[in-house]
Amino acid sequence: MAHEVERPTYEVVGPLERFDERDNVFAREAYLPGSPEEREYHARHPELVEIDRRLARFIEEKIDNPPEVPEDPLNEAFYETTFGSVAPLAQPDAVDGPVNSYRVEVDPVEMARRIKAIARHLGAYLVRIGPLNPAWVYTHRGVRPFFEDYRDNPPLFTGVPEGYQGLKYSDPIEINHRYAISMAFPQNAALIRTTPSLVSDFEVGRVYAASALAAVELGKYIRALGYPARAHHLRNYGVLLVPVAVDAGLGELARCGYVINKELGANFRLACVTTDLPLAVDKPVDLGVQDFCEKCLKCADTCPSQAIPSGEKVEVRGVKRWQVDAEKCLLYWGSQGAACAICQVVCPWSKPPTLFHRSVAEIATRIPQARRFLIKADDLVYGAKYRPAPFPEWLRQGGDT
């Protein structure tokens, strides 16, 4: 396969350290003041009390002062449509479950081919298989998945099922699978270009919901073959999807913190299934993204919260990489009342996969000397500044834009 290399292009400069999901900003924004999680977490991290209070304010505000009449009811209803629909797929028996006692004997090469075809049929656009590096498994569950009383159970989902046996906040995560099947799901460019807006949120949620369902289905298929398998999606992660995808050759880790794929740029979302099903693995790729990002600062220059560094890479848990300031990023989302995807949109690699753009990506990959010119050309053609696109006509009817 073109551009395959023996090692991923991120530089390992020290012992790799596993990440604790409790430190993730999406977990921390739900540590509502006075809740058991908040007390436990801030007893260990008093230095984060102030910033986490600011992170939590967005959720608190929604709970404590829900508007009687939504500002934009036609578009606000999208949240339940997509993100709300994923909640049942977060259940422990959806992401994992009993393995069939009858085990089908498989050939790893044939099986890898079949799994990729099935994953594509289930909705994935790209599928790659890599070895699962144990360093990418979270150490502890940080997100409490269900909601009873909001102070005790931040409202990520509603309804605690009777007899819930899944991992709860602070439970250790153990996943010893050998392989990880990474899947990429593209986002609709017209909808994402409205970001930050309820319409781009709708698209992000739609893609996440589709990716969650595909991961759950693929995991169930593998368990029915007699092999353990665990789905990982936005509502129930056990592994860090970005390095897992990079190891499988879906793309390279970029300055903006996302994976850049040659065909989709950064305009896609990930889901994954880890398993012990014998599978032939793919190799990582070198598309020249590290050098391209050195020369291109478009995401850093465009980020409204200055969360993306314009400087050098730093060491993060053993890997030298650009470190996005997730707190600044999430605070900006809160200030807008919608998630932001500007860095995904403006990246010169995120272009519709026309013949022309595929040729440009080919040049960017193969000819390092052309990269500065391509970056300038991107600014000239698409603009150096970001301007959100209007909502598409079918979403304007009957609603405010």
Residues 322-351 that bind ligand SF4 (CB under 6 A): 324, 329, 332, 340-343, 346-349
φ/ψ of 156, rounded to 5, equals -75, -40
Q: Is 364 in the site for ligand SF4 (CB under 6 A)?
A: no
**Contacting range for ligand SF4; rule: CB under 6 A; set: 14-22, 127-135, 270-278, 298-306:** 298-306
Q: Is 303 in the site for ligand SF4 (CB under 6 A)?
A: yes
CB 45 within 8 A of CB 165: no
Tell me the DSSP string of 199-216: HHHHHHHHHHHHHHHHHH
Q: Is 296 in the site for ligand SF4 (CB under 6 A)?
A: yes
Identified binder of ligand SF4 from the candidate list 299, 319, 374, 395, rule CB under 6 A: 299
CB 32 within 8 A of CB 156: no
**Contacting range for ligand SF4; rule: CB under 6 A; set: 34-42, 47-55, 228-236, 294-302:** 294-302
Q: Is 256 in the site for ligand SF4 (CB under 6 A)?
A: yes
Identified binder of ligand SF4 from the candidate list 190, 297, 316, 389, rule CB under 6 A: 297
**Contacting range for ligand SF4; rule: CB under 6 A; set: 54-62, 99-107, 147-155, 249-257:** 249-257
3-class DSSP assignment, residue 123? coil
Q: Which residue(s) pair with 261 in the sheet?
A: 265
Question: Whole-number minimum distance, CB 28 to ligand SF4, in Å?
Answer: 16
Question: Whole-number minimum distance, CB 296 to ligand SF4, in Å?
Answer: 3
Q: Is 292 in the site for ligand SF4 (CB under 6 A)?
A: yes
How far is it, in rounded angstroms, from Cα 94 to Cα 236?
10
Nearer Cβ to ligand SF4 (132/340): 340
Question: Whole-number minimum distance, CB 264 to ligand SF4, in Å?
Answer: 12
How far is it, in rounded angstroms, from Cα 37 to Cα 147?
13
Q: Is 129 in the site for ligand SF4 (CB under 6 A)?
A: no
**Contacting range for ligand SF4; rule: CB under 6 A; set: 75-83, 113-121, 130-138, 297-305:** 297-305
**Contacting range for ligand SF4; rule: CB under 6 A; set: 128-136, 141-149, 227-235, 289-297:** 289-297
Question: Whole-number minimum distance, CB 197 to ligand SF4, in Å?
Answer: 12
Nearer Cβ to ligand SF4 (117/384): 384
How far is it, in rounded angstroms, from Cα 179 to Cα 219?
12
Which position has the token pair 């049929």? Answer: 121
Residue ranges of alpha helices (H) inside 8-101 are 25-28, 36-44, 49-64, 73-76, 78-79, 85-86, 92-95
CB 34 within 8 A of CB 63: no
CB 118 within 8 A of CB 221: yes
Nearer Cβ to ligand SF4 (90/256): 256
Question: Whole-number minimum distance, CB 242 to ligand SF4, in Å?
Answer: 13
Question: Whole-number minimum distance, CB 75 to ligand SF4, in Å?
Answer: 19
Please tell me the count of residues contacting ligand SF4 according to CB under 6 A.
25
Nearer Cβ to ligand SF4 (140/328): 328
Tell me the DSSP string of 133-158: -GGGB-SB-------SSTTTS-SSSS
Q: Which residues contact 71 (CB under 8 A, 6 or more apart)?
A: none
How far is it, in rounded angstroms, from Cα 206 to Cα 188?
10
3-class DSSP assignment, residue 102? coil
Identified binder of ligand SF4 from the candidate list 144, 233, 235, 255, rule CB under 6 A: 255
How far is it, in rounded angstroms, from Cα 184 to Cα 175?
22
Identified binder of ligand SF4 from the candidate list 124, 212, 307, 374, rule CB under 6 A: 307
How far is it, in rounded angstroms, from Cα 96 to Cα 98?
7
Tell me the DSSP string of 160-186: PPTT--S--TT-B-----SEEEEEEEE
Question: Whole-number minimum distance, CB 29 to ligand SF4, in Å?
Answer: 14
Question: Whole-number minimum distance, CB 384 to ligand SF4, in Å?
Answer: 11
Peptide bond into 243 cis (omega under 30): no
Q: Is 287 in the site for ligand SF4 (CB under 6 A)?
A: no
Identified binder of ligand SF4 from the candidate list 230, 235, 298, 321, rule CB under 6 A: 298
Rg of the chain in Å (alpha carbons): 21
Positions that interact with ligand SF4 (CB under 6 A): 254-256, 292-293, 296-299, 303-305, 307-308, 324, 329, 332, 340-343, 346-349
